[in-house]
Amino acid sequence: MFAAIDWQAAFFWLFALISCGFALAVLFTPNIVHMASYLIVSLGAVAGLFFLAGAEFVGAMQLMLYVGGTLVLLVFGVMLTSRSNFIRMKTGGGEWILTLFVGGALLLLLLRTAFLVDGWRIPLGQASPPADASTTTRIGLALSGVRLDGGNGYLLPFVIISMHLLVVLIGAAYLARAKRSADGGQPVDRNLMR
Residue numbers 127-156 binding other proteins by CB under 8 A: 127, 129-130, 133, 135, 138-139, 142-143, 147, 149, 151, 154
164 vs 66: CA distance, rounded Å: 18
94 binds other proteins (CB under 8 A): no
Considering the complex, what minimum distance in angstroms separates the CB of residue 131 from other proteins?
11
69 binds other proteins (CB under 8 A): yes
- Residues 15-54 touching other proteins, rule: CB under 8 A, are 16, 19-20, 23-24, 26-27, 32, 35-36, 39, 42-43, 46, 49-50, 53-54
Residue 40's nearest CA partner among 25, 55, 50 is: 25
121 binds other proteins (CB under 8 A): yes
55 binds other proteins (CB under 8 A): yes
42 with 19: CB under 8 angstroms? yes
175 vs 167: CA distance, rounded Å: 12
161 with 65: CB under 8 angstroms? no
Give CA separation, 99 vs 107, 114, 120, in Å: 12, 22, 29
107 binds other proteins (CB under 8 A): yes
